[in-house]
Amino acid sequence: MPNTDLTIDQRIRKEKARLSKFYKDMATEKKGIAVGLIERAAFMRVQCEDLEIDLNKNGWTEMFQQSDKVDPYTRARPEGQTYNTLNANYQKIIKQLDGMLPKTEPKKADDGMDDFIDGREDE
Residue 37 identity: L
Quote the Cα angle for 19-24-27, to 5°.
Answer: 125
Residues contacting residue 53 through CB under 8 Å, at least 6 positions apart = 2
Residue 120: per-residue pLDDT: 63
Q: What pLDDT is stored for residue 123 in this prediction?
A: 58
Query: Helix 8-20 and helix 28-58: axis angle, to 10°?
Result: 140
Helix runs in 59-111, H state only: 78-100
What 3-state DSSP class applies to 110?
A: coil
Q: Where are the domains of the chain?
A: 8-102
Give residue 6's identity as a one-letter amino acid code.
Answer: L
Would you write out the chain's pLDDT as a tens digit for each of its 123 residues? 677 789 999 999 999 999 999 988 888 878 888 999 999 999 999 999 999 999 999 999 999 998 999 999 999 999 999 999 999 999 999 999 999 887 777 676 777 767 767 766 655
pTM of the model: 0.76
Residue 101: the pLDDT is 85
